[in-house]
Structure 1
C-alpha cells in the first residue's frame, strides 16, 4: 500500500512578516505618537484610517515625522537597536524609511480612491424573502451551498482601476498632495504616462496635461516613433502639445537638427509652442549653436540672439551668460516669459562691441563678463542704459 507523501510545511516569508510588522507599528505606536503631537487626531474614531484617506493630513504627518524625527527615533533603529539617521539605510524591518514612505504613499492612494469613487452611503440590505423565480432560487442556492472560491469574483471598482494604474509610480511623499489631482485623470492616460507621471510635480502641471487633451496625445503618436513617444511620456508628457503643433515634417526637422545635442531636454523645449513657432523660421545650423539652452530660451530671446549675434558668438554668449548670471537669473531674463527689453539690450551691446579682428571670439569671451557684471552691479541703471 502506497504511503502518502508528507507535504513539508510552508516556509515563512520574511518579507511578508516584515511588512505585517511595519503596518502594525504604523497603525499602533506611530499613530499614537502622532496623536500626542496632533491632538486633533484623537477626535477621529479611527485616526489611522482617517489620516490615510486624507492626502492633506497624510502629507502633514509625513512631514512631521521628517522634521520632528527625535519623537520617532525609537522606531528608526537597525537590527542591533542602533539609531538610523539616514532615510535610505535599512531599519530593523530590513526596509529603509524611504521604502516605508513609498508603502504609505501607495496605501494613501488606495484609501483616497475608495473615498473618491465608492459611494459613501452603503446600499440597504434587502429583506430576505422566499425565492420566487428560478434566477432567485439559483442565487440562493449558490450563496448558501457553494464555497467563495467558486463564486464569481466581484468586478473591480473604479477605485481599484485607479489604484492598479497608479500604484507602481507612487514612491515619494511629495506626491501625496497630488493624489486627488491624479485621481481626476482618466485611468487610460495614467497607464499611458507610466513613469512620466512622476514628472508632474504640481497641480498646475497635472491640469496642463488634462488641458492638452486626447487629440494631442494621439497626434503625437502618429508623428513620432514608438521609442520617442515612450521617451517623451517618461520625460515630459506636456511636450505632446508641442509635437502636435509642429506636425510631422517640422518635428522631423527639429529632431534631426538638435536632438542629438539636447537629449531628453528636447522634450522640455517642445512644451512651449511660442518657442517652437520662433524656431520655425531659423535654420538648422543656428539652432545647433543654441542647443544647450533651447529648453530655456523664450521665443523673443531666440529671435534677438539670431538677429544681433554672429553665428560663432551664440554659444559663447549663452555659456558666459548662464555662468555669470547663474541659471535662475539667466532663465528669468532669457527664459519664458523673460524680460524682452533686457534681452534686446544684452544682444545689442554685444553686436556693437568692438572686437579684436584677429580673434573676435576670444575677445568676446574676455569682454562678456564685464557686460554681465555691469548688470549685476546695478540692474536698474543698466536697464535705463546708464
Structure 2
C-alpha cells in the first residue's frame, strides 16, 4: 500500500482526521495504516509482535514511539521507497513532493503530528469523564400511563455539546502542529492553556527545547503589554539600558529558562552563577561585533557566549572576550559566523556549530595550523562540512 493511494478497508479510521470528507486525507490514512506501518513493524522491535492495527495505535498513542518512527523515516528513506511515492510512483523524500492523493509529504507529516497530539490531549486532559445530572423522572402516575401505552414517554433532549479541555487546546494549537520535530514536544504542549497558545501564536514554532517550552508556558510569562516573552525578544533585552553592557541578572534568567546548566554537567548552582557573572563582563566591542551576526537573537547570542566559555576555558575567554583591544579578533570571528547559516534554535545544533567555529581559534596565543587542527578533530571536519564552510582550513579567530 503506497502512501497517497486509497483503500476502503484501511480508511475505516479516517474519522480521526480533521476533515473526514476529504478523500486525500483518507488516502493518507490508508497508506499509513498499510505499507508504512508494515515497514515500521519490520524495523522496530517493539512493534514486531503486534498486529497491524494495534501497531498503528501504539505509534499514534505514544509520542516517543512516533518520534522513533519519524527518525527511522528520515534516516532510512530507502526502507520506504516503495510505500511513500509521488504521483509518478517514485520515492518521495522531500516534504514538498506531491503525493498521488494531492497532498504533499509535508502535509502528510502535519496530519500525523496533529492526530497524535489530539490523541495525547484527550488522554491527558479528558481522562475523567464528567457525568451529567441524572435525567428527571416523570411522576408515578405518568410512568404507569407510559407503561400501559396510554402516554408517550418524554422526548429526551440532547444536551448541548460543550468543548472538552482537549478540544479547546487542540483548536488553539492545531495550525501550529506541522513538523515531525514537534512530536517529542507534544506532552509538553498539553499543560498549556489555549490563551497561552494564542498569546504565543506563530512564535510557538520557534521553540524546540522542552526547557524553553516549559518556561514560556509558565503562568505570567507572556506579557500583556505586547512585549515578547524574554526568550523570544531581541538580544538587546540583555543589555543595561543605554549601554553596551550585559545585565547579569537578565542573562541569569535566560540561562535558567534555557536550562543551559546542561553545558556545565555536575556544576553547582553557585558556580554557574559565577560563570554567568564572568560571561556578563564581555567587552562592549564584543557585543557590537557579535550581536548583528547572531541575528540579534537572544537565545543564539546567549548560547554562543556560554559555549565560548566552555570551549575556550575561563582564562582564554577573559583574554579574548573581556579585555579591551580584542575587537579586531572578535570581528574576524564574527565575519566567519556571518558566512555560516544560522543553526536551528536547539541547544545541540547551536552548540555543535559554535564549538566548531571556536575550536578553530588560536590556542594560548599561538595560532594553530588549520590542517593540524582539522586532522586532530574529525568531528570538527564533519561539523564544518555540514555547515558549508567558506574556507578550507580556518586557522584562527584573527583569520
Relative to the length of structure 1, the TM-score reads: 0.58
The verdict on how the C-alpha distance between 1:320 and 1:289 changes in structure 2, with shifts beyond 3 A counting, is: closer
Aligned 8 A contact 2:63 2:184 in 1: yes
Matches within 5 A, 1:188-337: 188-210=195-217, 213-218=218-223, 222=225, 226=226, 229=228, 236-237=231-232, 243=237, 250-251=240-241, 253=242, 271-272=254-255, 287-292=287-292, 295=302, 296-298=304-306, 308-310=323-325, 313-314=326-327, 316-321=328-333, 331-332=354-355
Cα RMSD for the two superposed structures: 5.1
Q: Does 1:88 align with 2:96?
A: yes
Aligned position for 2:50? 42
Q: Matched residues in 2 for 1:141 and 1:36: separation?
A: 56
Normalised to the residue count of structure 2, the TM-score between the two structures is 0.56
* Deviation of 1:80 (Å): 3.5
> Residue 130 and residue 282 in structure 1: after superposition, are their counterparts in 2 closer, same or farther (change >3 A)?
closer
| Equivalent position SS for 2:124 | helix
What is the CA distance between 1:173 and its match in structure 2?
1.0
Taking the TM superposition and a 5 Å limit, the aligned residue runs for 1:86-165 are: 86-119=94-127, 130-132=137-139, 141=154, 143=156, 153-165=160-172
Question: Structure 1 CA distance, aligned partners of 2:39 and 2:281?
Answer: 63
Per residue, is there more helix in 1 or in 2? 1
Decide whether the 8 Å contact of 2:81 with 2:90 is kept in 1: no
Deviation readout 1:74-117 (Å, 9 max, x if unpaired): 33223343443434211111222222111100111001111111
For the 8 Å contact 1:88–1:96, the answer to whether it is kept is yes
* Change beyond 3 A, Cα 1:96–1:377: closer
Residues 88, 103 of structure 1: CA spacing in aligned structure 2 closer, same or farther, 3 A cutoff? same
Cα gap change, 1:126 to 1:209, in 2 (>3 Å): closer
Shift of 1:34: 3.2
Written as runs of structure 1 = structure 2, the 5 A alignment for 1:34-73 is: 34-38=40-44, 39-40=47-48, 42=50, 46-73=54-81
Contact 2:96-2:106 at 8 Å conserved across structures:
yes
Partners of 1:76 and 1:84 within 8 A in 2: yes
Alignment partners' CA distance in 2, 1:378 and 1:83: 37
Give the number of equivalent residue pairs. Answer: 297
Q: Distance in 2 between matches of 1:176 and 1:303?
A: 40
What is the rounded CA distance, in whole Å, between the counterparts of 2:322 and 2:94 in structure 1? Answer: 52
Question: For residues 155-205 of structure 1, what are the alpha-carbon distances to aligned partners after superposition, in whole Å with 9 as ceiling and x for unaligned?
Answer: 111111221222111111121111111212333222222222222223233
Gaps of 5+ in 1: 1-12, 134-139, 259-266, 350-369, 380-386
Q: Distance in 2 between matches of 1:182 and 1:99?
A: 21
**Contact (CA 8 Å) 1:55, 1:177: kept in 2 or not?**
yes
1:286 deviates by 7.1
Query: Does the residue aligned with 2:192 lie in a helix, a strand or coil?
Result: coil
